[in-house]
Amino acid sequence: MSARVLVAMSGGVDSSVAAAILRERGCDVVGIAMRLAPEGSTVATGRRGTCCSYDDFEDARRVAERMDFPFYVIDLRAEFASRVIDYFVGEYVDGRTPNPCVMCNRDVKFDRLWKRARAIQADFVATGHYARIERDAAGRRRLLRAADPSKDQSYFLFNLTADQLARTLFPLGDMTKDEVRARARALGLRNAGKPESQEICFVPDRDYASFVERRADRAALRPGRVVDAQGVELARHAGVHRFTVGQRRGLGIAAGEPLYVRAIDSTTGDVVVGRNSELGARGLIATNVNLIDPSFAGDSLERVEAKIRYRHPVLPATFRSDAGGRAEVMFDRPGPAVTPGQACVFYRGDEVLGGGFIERAL
Partner 1 sequence: MRIYLDHNAGSPLRREARDAIERLLGDDVANPSSVHRSGQRARRALEIAREQVAAAIGAKPRQIIFTSGGTESNNAAISGAVNALPARRRIVTTAIEHSSILAPLAELESKGRDVVRIAPDSEGTVAAADVLSALDRNTALVTVGLVNGEVGAIQDVASLAREALAVGALFHVDAAQALGRISIDVNTIGCDLMTLSGHKVGAPAGIGAIYVRDPARVTPMILGGPQESAMRAGTQNLLGAVAFGAAVEAATRDIGAEAARLYALTEQLLAALTAQIAGLSVNGPRDRRVANTLNLTFPGVLGETMLIALDLESVELSMGSACAAGSVEPSHVLLAMGRSAADALSSLRLSLGWNTTANDLSAAATTIVRVWARVSSAEPRPLAAESLT
Binders of partner 1 among 111-130, rule CB under 8 A? 112, 115-116, 118-121
Going residue by residue from 22 to 41, which x/- string records binding to partner 1, judged by CB under 8 A?
A: --------x-x--x------
Q: Name 355's bridge partners.
A: 290, 345
Q: Which is nearer to partner 1, 118 or 206 (CB)?
A: 118
Min dist CB 32 to partner 1, Å, is 8
Euclidean distance between CA atoms 239 and 216, whole angstroms: 12
Q: Name 273's bridge partners.
A: 261
Task: Give me the sheet containing 124-126, strands edge to edge.
Answer: 71-75, 28-35, 4-9, 124-126, 168-169
Range in contact with partner 1 (rule: CB under 8 A) among 53-61, 130-138, 169-177, 218-226: 53-61
The residues that are catalytic are 104, 201
CA–CA–CA angle 190, 192, 197 (5° rounding): 105
Min dist CB 3 to partner 1, Å, is 14
- 264 and 272 Cβ atoms separated by less than 8 Å: yes
Q: Name 236's bridge partners.
A: 225
Applying CB under 8 A, among 16, 27, 57, 356 the residue interacting with partner 1 is 57
Cα torsion angle, 169, 170, 175, 177, sign: positive
Q: Which is nearer to partner 1, 47 or 303 (CB)?
A: 47
Using the rule CB under 8 A, is 141 a contact of partner 1? no
Using the rule CB under 8 A, is 56 a contact of partner 1? yes
In sequence order, the 6+-apart residues with CB closer than 8 A to the CB of 199 are 205, 206
Min dist CB 139 to partner 1, Å, is 26
Using the rule CB under 8 A, is 300 a contact of partner 1? no
Q: Which is nearer to partner 1, 70 or 316 (CB)?
A: 70
Using the rule CB under 8 A, is 2 a contact of partner 1? no
In sequence order, the 6+-apart residues with CB closer than 8 A to the CB of 252 are 226, 235, 236, 237
Residues that bind partner 1 (CB under 8 A): 30, 32, 35, 49-54, 56-57, 70, 72-75, 77-79, 82-83, 112, 115-116, 118-121
